[in-house]
Amino acid sequence: MAVSSLFDPIESISGQKRLEPKFIVLNVFPQQQDTIILLSYLRDHQEDLRPYANEIINASGEYQLYLLSKTILRYCENFVISPEHFKGFSQQKIDAIKNFYLATVRQIDLDHNDKNLMLF
């Protein structure tokens, strides 16, 4: 799994353009047998963006990866899944991921629980 994305979760959910967008930078990349996840934002935007980042940071284990998966599907236009990992996905999982990803184009705040949205 690899991701490099810049997104404004506040503007995305509210749908209102702001004079000063506040972006979270999300980088996910493999490192040997691990996956490195970096969430960052400007210090000046900390007050507004901390709740979005902390939702993922304060979670743990599988739930943390699930929240990260939904964030990637909701906000990131480009991400890469290794072919070996993707081959392990069932058709039901592929359909769930595709449908959620496409639905967020029209409704960015779409949220529903589905274990098939787990990308990791």
Residue 98 scores a pLDDT above 80: yes
Count helices and strands in the chain by DSSP H and E runs? 5, 4
Q: How far apart are CA 89 and CA 93, in angstroms?
A: 6
Determine the structural domain holding residue 16 and report its residue range: 2-117
Question: Quick one: average pLDDT of 31-56?
Answer: 94
pLDDT tens digit string along 48-79? Answer: 999 999 999 999 999 999 999 999 999 998 89
Instruction: Tell me the percentage of the chain whose pLDDT exceeds 90.
Output: 75
pLDDT averaged over every residue in the chain: 91
β-bridge pairing 2-7 and 24-31 = antiparallel
The domain total for the chain is 1
Q: What is the pLDDT of residue 51?
A: 94
Q: What is the pLDDT of residue 12?
A: 58
Q: With bands split at pLDDT 50, 70 and 90, how would you rate the model's confidence at 87?
A: very high
pLDDT tens digit string along 4-18? Answer: 999 988 875 555 666
Q: With bands split at pLDDT 50, 70 and 90, how would you rate the model's confidence at 106?
A: confident
Q: How far apart are CA 74 and CA 78, in angstroms?
A: 11
- Report the predicted TM-score, pTM, of the whole model to 2 decimal places: 0.88
Question: Quick one: average pLDDT of 12-29?
Answer: 79
